[in-house]
Amino acid sequence: MLPEVGQVIWLRPSFGDVQKSSRTYKSRIADLDPDGATAAMEVPTDEQTGSSGYLLQGTKWLVWYFGPDGSRYEFSTEVVGKRNDNIPLVLIHLPDKQQIVRTQRRNFVRVELKVDIAVQLKDSLRNYHFLTHTQDLSGGGLAITCSQTYRLMVGDRLALWMALPMRSGAIEHVAAIGECTRVEPLESNSDQQLVSIKFVEISESDRAKIIRLCFERQLEQHKILPEADRREYSG
């Protein structure tokens, strides 16, 4: 699927199949040409520094975004110009639909992993803010346990903050917005509940940190989890 107006997208500079930089930029589609040949996007910002600037005409980029089905879509493009519509916009070429690559999020592998996490639900009646740890983690979502006194429901949106213990000894901090996809009592403890959460808002740089931690943990275990042991986080 092609990106839509209002779609959040991420970009990384590239040359053919070789990426020039690991730096990731974030933007939003502001307008689409009726002929579908070009898209106008807001001036991208660097996810690490927050700085922004025009992309030079003719430079090539890898673009990716997530659809309502939870899949990742990506394509190669180049900057073809700029425009001013109350705000400065950058014009990029849109490929044919068959040139867009779709990757399902179920390719994120779940790893059993305990990571400290702070959870907040802002609600007029359920203004929860508590600390717990993950039961498992992947680039698409996670599962936590918490007291059943926190009356979480499927569809609740939660602010999440995690401290990831990397193999190097560094602690990487990650923030995300998640949505509850399943809430069920924990069989081994009647006072606790297991909550599955999918990420609905997370920077690609933070997602990369999670994926790297999961990969490191798999290396430590000297095995890759079998397909039947994966948990899918749709959306």
Q: 133-142 pLDDT, tens per residue?
A: 999 999 889 9
CA–CA separation, 188 and 200 (whole Å): 29
Neighbouring residues of 228: CB distance < 8 A, sequence distance ≥ 6: none
What's the confidence (pLDDT) of residue 107?
Answer: 58
Q: Are residues 46 and 112 in the same domain?
A: no
User: Does 235 reside within a domain?
Assistant: no
Same domain? 113 vs 21: no
Highest mean pLDDT among 45-49, 123-127, 140-144: 140-144
How confident is the model at residue 80, as a pLDDT? 92
**97 and 118, same domain (yes or no):** no
pLDDT of residue 235: 35
pLDDT the model gives residue 169: 87
Instruction: Please indicate, yes or no, if residue 61 is contained in any of the structural domains.
Output: yes
Domains contained in the chain, number:
2
pTM of the model: 0.56
Q: Which of 71, 103, 135 represents a domain boundary (last residue)? A: 103
pLDDT recorded at residue 230:
39
Q: Which domain holds residue 132?
A: 107-229
pLDDT (tens digit, 9 = 90+) per residue, 182-197? 999 887 777 899 999 9
Residues 135 and 164 grouped into a single domain = yes
* Dihedral-angle region of residue 134 (phi above 0 means left; psi in -120 to 50 means alpha; beta otherwise): beta
Indicate whether 145 and 66 sit together in one domain. Answer: no
